Amino acid sequence: MQITARILSRNTSVLTASLLIQKILAFIYFSYLATQLGVSQTGLYFFSLSVVALFSVFIDFGIINTVIREVAKYPDKIHAYFSNTVIVRVILSLVIYLVLIIIVFLTVTDLLTKIALLIAGLIMVIDSFTLLFYGFLRARHNTVYEAVGNILFQVILLIFGISVLMIRPEVLLALVALLIASFTNLVYSLTRVVKLIKPQFTWQINFPFVKEILLIALPFALAGIFARGYGYLDTLLLRILDDQIAVGYYSLPYKITFVWQFIPLAFIASVYPAFSALFKTDKINLSKLFHKVVIYLLVISLPLAIGLSLMAESIFINIYGLDYLPSAYALQVLILCLPLLFINFPIGYLLNACNRQVQNTINIFIAMIISLICNIILIPHYSFIGAAYVSVVTTTLLFVLGFYYVLKIIRIDWPWLLKKLIKLILSVALMAAFILLIGNQINYLFVILFAAIIYLISIFAMHLITWSEIKYLYQSIIPNK
């Protein structure tokens, strides 16, 4: 199968569009869920899914990334990969779910929490197979069905979730709704794989072949373990060192901050192949592309961070109610990591594209350890606010560690970068001044609208972004056919 720029562009566009729709629907649903369940039950819901997110990385063990890479290279081995990886997935799922059950019954005394964790564990197992099946479709350069499946999952979750929460706002019913949506997505992904790949499945395991798969998967597994630990340890420690209500207060600021990750992910899906190609052929244009991606991500993330931080109280009072007002103070802190969170995507993927993936994994490991230590120190004294500060610190640390190695790969044009940053800061300052002066005098929705208009006018008036730069970025991402 010949892979053209048109196919790559289609795959990127389809996945990006589905990711955007899914994230919007997911955030709307979680916001509704939070208002219906209340702080404590929302905390249990978020905690249960965070725990199984940590366990799920051991079920996957980097196998999905291995499948995508190796099947794309050797399509004739797809049937061998399918049979053996499915068998390995069954074994790992049973083992990890059994470990989860043992840990739950040894450490958890509350019956409601036990049941919630066990239901979440079933969701984890189902999703692990769904993602594996979509991995095989990705290896065949088909992302359309994954995109449809993502939206199908979210729509079903919205329908079932909102229905049960309207009748009985209980956390277990919310998890059952998620279980139904996950199972539907599993069935859909399996039918697509069977139709498109027609796998010749057999229960006979090829041990030398499985050993080869696991050795290839090991670096992916380590990176996944460190990244998942870095992303979810704060929630786990918050529940252990504080209580469920603290997790509930932390869950909404966490969702509001990290829901925006689809933006840098969409950028990276497009520019990562260009990073890899330019590293081999044109270091100067690699540097230019990196500069522009960084600035464009800052143009999006910095006003979001400052605007949401300044308007946190109004947003929470008007949307979530006074019960969630303490969450606003966590958001004011946590959202400040958004610009560096965005920038860490091109930094990390540039390192991967330039054969520095080991260093990138080490950086994530260091950030995870620092996060663990700082959360243990701060959470007992400052609860979820302490966890928010730790997230800002570790995101900054990850940026510093990554940028140090970026400097070894490309030359940074400091005058160009500083000129752009000054214009950006001035534009954000104008927007922030408007929010501070007018924010309490008119409806918060109008504040958001007018602040966005002021910011957009200022960035184009100051030539922070020009049409020629947008054209350059587009041509760098989409090669001429």
Question: Could you please report the per-residue DSSP string of 359-377?
Answer: HHHHHHHHHHHHHHHHHHH
Percent of the chain predicted with pLDDT > 90? 51
pLDDT at 356: 83
The alpha carbon dihedral of 227, 229, 233, 236 has a sign of: positive
Highest mean pLDDT pick, 135-144, 211-220, 228-237, 390-399: 390-399
- In the predicted model, is pLDDT for residue 305 greater than 90? yes
Q: Using alpha carbons, list the distances in angstroms from residue 481 to 5, 7, 9, 138, 256.
A: 7, 11, 12, 22, 39
Question: Across all residues in the chain, what is the average pLDDT?
Answer: 87
Please spell the DSSP secondary structure of 157-177, one letter per residue. Answer: HHHHHHHHHHH---HHHHHHH
pLDDT band at 1 (very low <50, low <70, confident <90, very high): very low
pLDDT band at 10 (very low <50, low <70, confident <90, very high): low
Residue 274: closest CA among 1, 2, 12:
12
Highest mean pLDDT pick, 181-195, 251-265, 284-298: 181-195
- In the predicted model, is pLDDT for residue 413 greater than 60? yes
- In the predicted model, is pLDDT for residue 468 greater than 80? no
Mean per-residue pLDDT, 383-391? 94
pLDDT at 4: 45
Phi, psi of 113 (to 5 degrees): -65, -40
- In the predicted model, is pLDDT for residue 139 greater than 90? no
What Rg, from alpha-carbon coordinates, does the chain have? 23
pLDDT band at 428 (very low <50, low <70, confident <90, very high): very high
57-66 b/e (C-beta count within 10 Å ≥ 16 → b): bbbbbbbbbb
Tokens encoding 39: 């702080």
Distance from C-alpha of 344 to C-alpha of 349, rounded to nearest angstrom: 8
pTM higher than 0.95: no
Residue 406: closest CA among 269, 309, 322, 290:
290
Distance from C-alpha of 476 to C-alpha of 181, rounded to nearest angstrom: 38
- In the predicted model, is pLDDT for residue 441 greater than 90? no
pLDDT at 165: 92
pLDDT at 479: 47
Q: Using alpha carbons, list the distances in angstroms from residue 302 to 253, 298, 330, 393.
A: 17, 5, 18, 17
pLDDT band at 376 (very low <50, low <70, confident <90, very high): very high
**Domain ranges, ordered by start, for the chain:** 1-205, 271-481
pLDDT at 9: 55
Tokens encoding 58: 């051991």
Burial of 334 (0-12, 13-18, 19+ CB in 10 A): buried
- In the predicted model, is pLDDT for residue 367 greater than 60? yes
- In the predicted model, is pLDDT for residue 411 greater than 70? yes
pLDDT at 159: 92
Question: What amino acid occupies position 448?
Answer: I
- In the predicted model, is pLDDT for residue 430 greater than 90? yes
Residue 427, helix vs strand vs coil: helix
